[in-house]
Structure 1
């Protein structure tokens, strides 16, 4: 994403946030307990193994390449990623972890089975796209809290033969312990380095995502949809406002419900607003972490927000239910992860400088209901790739 040189043994900053919170009535309990359901998204920046993949431009991430990417650096990076993911979970593992910029099954298998994350029992799904560098996206999930039902790779061809194929979008559908179906889309859209052509490509992918989400709005009884990942764009670019038709939630200064009098802006809390269940809303607009950090990606000394969480209105409509019985969240449950070790001071523009990303996380609550999985997760070989044409 950037031409900055990176110190490969340090952890790049990413995005994490806790998205869903819900409650439900239990048999004979008038005030059911809350339990969170935490979702995290994280651009782990160039998680490559040390081997060259035939036909891919990944030789810089080999022991003899420009990065001198050897086993020592590789396993140090894996250990630091483990530290972040485990830290976001806290007393219980993060339920869903969306990962951007991962190379293949090997690096995800190593992360989940050969670091301390192995104790947490994560399973995973990964795309197998045609990106020239071999970059993919993946999802880690807790199988006893998220029953995997469907997985698809959504592939949108480039606009011309002169343009490179970008990463596939990973679509996952799963059953929550409440019985609700959650649809999750993990994106890594074309880089901003490629100018106007990449911008048009991003817009085209967003149009396809809108078509796909509209189909889910028609077919799901209670559509619970989340789009996350690295969009390489920020609101209010056209790919958000026109192509995906995303709205802001109340509580942001540009939302229609906000009022400005005598130079002071009054924000209407999203807990007092009814949301359209068939509309997508952006939770991450102008979010701020500690130390006045406004964004998740640092380039030339400036923080930008390229990683996002976009959710369907049904996940925000908890205030109209008494008591809430389906998954819900608010914009205040969406946060940037700003662990101190992710914010170490460093000299810019040196070879030893790590590319700064910050993660997001969302902490939902859920009913305390037993859930015993009686299914087999889908094998990677069963994954369907859907290619959209003009």
Structure 2
């Protein structure tokens, strides 16, 4: 009897496996990439871009700029191809100087046939670095988009941070005489992904300039703004499908993400109209997107709204997420072997961050 039961089990298993294999799914890759100082070579008097000019400290020539574009286009063309041969349908980007650099990027040979559209606004960041969104026009149709400013002020006691508490970063948080901190806007884009409404929020939260603890209130304010945007979308549609992505300058475990935004690490802990953060489990396993003082952290994150984790494959549903960390994106030797292969001493690299991505799937 036991032997017959085992045989029956394998017959049934083979039957259901065959049925599962017959199911076909439409897959879209959604990604985010901090492009690390994607500046052109033209002086813009409205921003502090002097470092990234041919005469600047980086000796940023047209040839170096083109090499940077080549590098980034190679990465973008390959993100997520392990499960989906198409490059990202939607890609959020950070640390880009202006719309022109995005126009130059999507014209690169590896990307031009993808016919990417561009959504971009100039932010008040003093260095002129912005966020933006690229999307494949044949799959995603924007219906609305706007930039939402983060208005924050530096407290008087925080103006002078101790040098030994400063983290080395070229992403400085600057304030004016009134203490207003000028940082990146949050970009909200709503549209139809193959006919289904999806909302994307692209973030680049305030840096850790001045030290993690001193600067934490700025990122908590950014998280509060992000939560306000998400709640407003939920108020319009309780079943809103939202993906908030970006370089948060905090990990999944920090207060800004865990407490203020309320992102949960486990699907079963996500309440209705809550948020699921698949990056927290990766962070717990030691996977990171950037390295500092021989320690990895996962600042680049993809967080999804509760309706995207419902097991309804007749509509687009979250499948899985990942960090794109191929070997060629890492330093091959020297003190920083294994770190992201960033721009270094005026030599164009890829980025000091690895890209992150997730897959949305829908049964065909």
Q: TM-score range by the shorter chain?
A: 0.7 to 0.9
Q: Which residue of 2 aligns with 1:23?
A: none
Q: CA 1:249–1:159 in structure 2 vs 1: closer, same or farther (change >3 Å)?
A: same
- The counterpart of 2:198, out of the listed 182, 195, 199, is 182
Contact 2:122/2:130 (<8 A) preserved: yes
1:276 CA drift (Å): 3.0
- Match 2:326 to one of 335, 339, 343: 339
Number of aligned residue pairs: give it: 307
Secondary structure (helix, strand or coil) at the match of 1:366 reads strand
2:353 to 353, 357, 360: 357
Alignment of 1:192-203 (within 5 A): 192-195=208-211, 196-203=213-220
- Aligned partner of 1:97 in structure 2 is 91
Per-residue CA shift, 1:177-212, capped at 9, x if unaligned? 2x4311111100111123345321111121121122
Deviation, 1:222, is: 2.0
Is the contact made by 2:265 and 2:281 (CA closer than 8 Å) also made in structure 1? Answer: no
Distance 1:199 1:277 in 2: 28
Shift of 1:293: 5.9
Structure 1 residue 86 corresponds to structure 2 residue 77 = yes
Which runs of 4 or more aligned residues in structure 1 lie more than 6 Å from their structure 2 counterparts after TM superposition?
Answer: none
Structure 2 gaps of 5+ residues are: 1-21, 155-177, 337-343
Is the partner of 1:116 in helix, strand or coil?
coil
Structure 1 CA distance for aligned equivalents of residues 321 and 182 of structure 2: 31
- Name the stretch that deviates more: 234-243 or 168-177: 234-243
Q: 1:141 aligns with which of 122, 135, 141?
A: 135
Q: Deviations over 1:144-189 (max 9, x none)?
A: 2111011010101122422431011111001122x43111111001
Q: How far is the alpha carbon of 1:215 from its aligned partner? A: 1.4
CA distance in 2, matches of 1:274, 1:247: 6
**Structure 1: runs of 5+ lacking an equivalent:** 1-30, 251-272, 369-390
TM-score (norm 2): 0.79
Deviations 1:221-265 (A, max 9, x none): 521111111000113222123221222125xxxxxxxxxxxxxxx
The more displaced of 333-342 and 89-98 is 89-98
Asked if structure 1 preserves the Cα contact closer than 8 Å seen for 2:203 and 2:247, the reply is yes
**Match in the other structure for 2:279:** 284
The residue correspondences of 1:303-314 to structure 2 (distance < 5 A) are 303-314=296-307
Q: Is the 8 A contact 1:132 1:164 kept in 2?
A: no
Question: Which of structures 1 and 2 has the bigger CA Rg?
Answer: 2
RMSD: 2.2
Please name the residue that 1:218 is paired with.
Answer: 235
Task: Give, in whole Å, the separation in 2 of the partners of 1:367 and 1:249.
Answer: 24
Q: How far off is 1:102 after superposition? A: 0.4
> Residue deviations 1:87-132, cap 9 Å, x none?
1253223101111110101100001124431111111111211100
Closer, same or farther in 2 for the Cα pair 1:152/1:353, shift >3 Å? closer
Alignment partner of 1:209 is 2:198:
no
Q: What does the per-residue CA deviation read over 1:57-102, in whole Å, with 9 as the maximum and x for residues that have no partner? A: 1101000100010011100010111101111253223101111110
Q: Any conservation in 1 of the 2:283–2:298 contact (CA below 8 Å)?
A: no
Q: Work out which of the residue numbers 77, 82, 90 in structure 1 matches 2:68.
A: 77
SS of residue matched to 2:198: strand
Change beyond 3 A, Cα 1:174–1:41: same
Residues 348 and 57 (structure 1), Cα distance of their counterparts in 2 relative to 1, 3 Å cut: farther
Aligned residue for 1:287, secondary structure, equals: helix
Q: Is the 8 A contact 1:181 1:224 kept in 2?
A: yes
Report which structure shows greater RCO (CA 8 Å, sep ≥6).
1
Say which structure is richer in helix.
2
Task: Tell me what 1:371 maps to.
Answer: none
* Distance in 2 of aligned mates of 1:106 and 1:348: 35
